[in-house]
Structure 1
Amino acid sequence: MLLDPWTLWLVVLVVGMLLAGSMLFVWLLTPEETALIYWAAFTGFLVAGVSAGMARGLIPDFVSIELGNAAILFAYGVMWCGLRRFDRRRPCLGYAFVAPVLWIALCQLPAFGESVGNRVMLISALIGVLVTLSLVQARRGWVVPSQPRLAVFVLLVVVLVLNLARIPLASTQVSDNQLVIFTHPRNAIIGLVAIGITIFLNCALVLLVRERAELIHRSAARRDELTGLLNRRGFAELATLCCMGAGPISLMLLDLDHFKQVNDRFGHATGDRVLVAFAQALRLNLRQADIVARIGGEEFAVLLPGATETAALQAAERIRSGFQSTINELGEEALHCSCSIGVAHTPLPPVEVDTMARARLEMLQRRADGALYEAKSNGRNRVAVAPFSLVH
């Protein structure tokens, strides 16, 4: 063997420190993504914990055993916090201290303090719990297709399996009640696997951040600058994807009544405030899964995946009445503005190709446009529903 286990673990430490530094460097380039700080801390504490383990016999046992392994446990807790932060959830950093404190407390018991094998099984189980939390968060935040997130998920599964495998194999890592993972040649493969996982996991996390940056950049081209809603292009792309799915779909086309008169009488600044207020009324009265867009000057569209005709009609009425309340809050006593809404619904089964999905969306838009024309013709400030038809 060219490299002994101790040398391989030393390489792991060097690689880990370089990766932690590179993660901080990426954060300096993208300071808005604070999850990178958590992931840099993950690698740093992992390196500190492994360093303490390698120095066993050269430093006090309390430092190498209790504090060293506590640092490793804290590292995995910080990994979980970083994934939560990346998915825009509260990091809950305080919970990352639970496993390290529990480890130190249990090590004071003779059953663990005097048995290396029992300690190996205990820390493997605790790491397994923390990695499982990271897996749950990685899966929970997986709302769009993402190859980097898939890579992170798979690597975490590998870490979980390897750590749990240490429990039945604890006896192979102990000799005369001494840990031999850093010294015995048969454990050299563990060092090689650790190097690979450390490199690939950090790369996958950086790619996850890069993917989000690219999505945000592409999203900016699909957003209306004034209201923050999707523009016509963004709506067409997302709505077409939804029309390929199973289940019912409803579509609203919405138009502000006499909006030109608002601009002429009160000025374009007030007109912009009205548009922003209407966008806010849409957000407050729709689900997070609904696709909302400003497709023209005072024209808006909403696609409601999975919504029945009754549910879509109820949502449209909420928007109409909610907009009236929002207008009253603008403080312009003479300002009167309402909206007309056309609703179309289809219970058609899913389609398999993009062209068929676009045809379904166009059919819904034609019917909703007809219903909107009906609402305008009947006095405005009302909701009209298009009768269902299989004719495109």
Structure 2
Amino acid sequence: MLLDPWTLWLVVLIVGLLLAGSMLFVWFLTPEESALGYWSAFTGLLVAGVSAGMARGLIPDFASIELGNAAILLAYGFIWSGLRRFDRRRPRLFYAVLIALAWIALCQLPPFRESVGSRVILISALIGLLATLGLVQTWRGWTTPSRPRLAVFVVLLLVLVLNLARIPLMPTQVRQNQLITFTEPHNAVVGLVAIGVAIFLNYALVLMVRERAELLHRSAARRDELTGLLNRRGFSELALANCETAGPVALIILDIDHFKQVNDRFGHATGDRVLEAFAHVLRINLRQADIVGRIGGDEFAALLPGASEAAAGQAAERIREAFQAGVGQMRPDGARVECSSSIGVACGDFPDAPSDGAARLEALLAWADRALYEAKSAGRNRVVVTQAS
């Protein structure tokens, strides 16, 4: 039994309106994620464009052909711009507006306007272009494993394929220079596909937002609020994962000398500035792959995967010198802050992956802590390197 196309397309419109409303509701609950506003506009414009197409013959052709298809083009422009906004890039909605205006301008040319087949080919190609831009942005922003982003990519790829497929299948939608997409029962499957695509795309986009919110929440739980470095929990989790692989590794424990005296003399605000300065020194003197954290009040730690004893010792010495020079520039109340650091370094070369990475990390911490104690006992403001065994 063939489905009634008008009934089915009416269902498509109702579902589209519900999706637009639900996306607006999610945006209301998550106002900091402005991409949701772009994606709400996508669904609303798509519904408006399809509604104009269904009303062809009941409303002026300018509203049905020019404005209706321009709304659909803008809708896919909002998808692309929303993806750019989500990835913290500047939206490019201006280009989608230009494409929509170019469509309206072309429709004023009698040869093009009077050829339904030409209009179907061009609108399909333009939607394909905007879908491709959305695919490119989805791919560029794919920096970490993400199933929702994969789903968005697949759905946009499906949109691209379906729109390009309209070009060779044009004879099934145009008869005697008349569009029959909304009137012929055999085209009802187009409505079914439209419902499925709209539902899956909106659901995947919302899941992308939820996934990032969860990642940010987990990241915040592992970060020290003052310095922005990993806290003890975050450092332990990442360091443990690196200690479960074979190869050389170095662990550095760093302590600010006489930090309590800084707080007592200059106040806790200056003490916080000293901690922030030390964290900055660690960032610029260690590699991006190194794991750095604040594991206590004035105690820091860094795990250097693949670092030799010489490289770890040189990095520790750079940190000691840079911190002493930098903190000496601080002059609260006109007085110079005298501050240094003691550093203990433990290095190990592990040719085999351990059966217990926690035991390796615990051993490195113990040896690095012992080296730090030696540095303090020898007068502070120095680096002591030891070989873990």
Same fold? TM cut 0.5: yes
Cα distance change on mapping 1:163 and 1:307 into 2, 3 Å: farther
Cα distance change on mapping 1:3 and 1:214 into 2, 3 Å: same
Q: Give the structure 2 partner of residue 300 of structure 1.
A: 300
Distance 2:118 2:314 in 1: 60
Distance 2:273 2:121 in 1: 62
Equivalent residue runs for 1:120-159 within 5 Å: 120-159=120-159
> How far does the alpha carbon of each residue in 1:216-236 deviate from its partner, in whole angstroms, 9 at most, with x for none?
333332222332322111122
Q: Give the structure 2 partner of residue 103 of structure 1.
A: 103
> How far does the alpha carbon of each residue in 1:20-55 deviate from its partner, in whole angstroms, 9 at most, with x for none?
111111111121111111111111111111112212
Cα distance change on mapping 1:201 and 1:358 into 2, 3 Å: farther
Distance 2:323 2:373 in 1: 20
Q: Give the structure 2 partner of residue 336 of structure 1.
A: 338
Q: Give the structure 2 partner of residue 166 of structure 1.
A: 166
Aligned length: 387
Task: For structure 2, list consecutive stretches of 5 or more residues without a partner in the other structure.
Answer: none
Distance 1:110 1:348 in 2: 77
2:247 and 2:351 in contact (8 A); partners too: yes
Equivalent residue runs for 1:346-357 within 5 Å: 356-357=356-357
Distance 1:305 1:54 in 2: 62
> How far does the alpha carbon of each residue in 1:279-328 deviate from its partner, in whole angstroms, 9 at most, with x for none?
23444555666543211121223345677888877765665555446424
Report sequence identity in percent: 72
Distance 1:5 1:135 in 2: 30
The one-letter code matched in structure 1 to 2:154 is V
Task: For structure 1, list consecutive stretches of 5 or more residues without a partner in the other structure.
Answer: none
Give the C-alpha shift of residue 188 in structure 1: 0.9
2:329 and 2:337 in contact (8 A); partners too: no
> How far does the alpha carbon of each residue in 1:115-164 deviate from its partner, in whole angstroms, 9 at most, with x for none?
32232222222222222222232233333333322222222222222222
- 1:65 equivalent to 2:98? Answer no
**1:3 aligns to what SS in structure 2?**
coil
1:244 and 1:350 in contact (8 A); partners too: no
Equivalent residue runs for 1:283-298 within 5 Å: 283-284=283-284, 290-298=290-298
- Could you tell me the TM-score, scaled by structure 2's length? 0.83
Cα distance change on mapping 1:252 and 1:157 into 2, 3 Å: farther
Q: Give the structure 1 partner of residue 46 of structure 2.
A: 46
The one-letter code matched in structure 2 to 1:260 is K
Cα distance change on mapping 1:156 and 1:306 into 2, 3 Å: farther
2:20 and 2:41 in contact (8 A); partners too: yes
Distance 2:162 2:382 in 1: 62
Larger radius of gyration: 2
**1:148 aligns to what SS in structure 2?**
helix
- Could you tell me the TM-score, scaled by structure 1's length? 0.83
> How far does the alpha carbon of each residue in 1:46-85 deviate from its partner, in whole angstroms, 9 at most, with x for none?
1111112212222232322222222112111211221222
Cα distance change on mapping 1:376 and 1:168 into 2, 3 Å: farther
**1:85 aligns to what SS in structure 2?**
helix
The one-letter code matched in structure 2 to 1:115 is S
* Residue range with higher mean Cα deviation, 327-336 or 237-246: 237-246
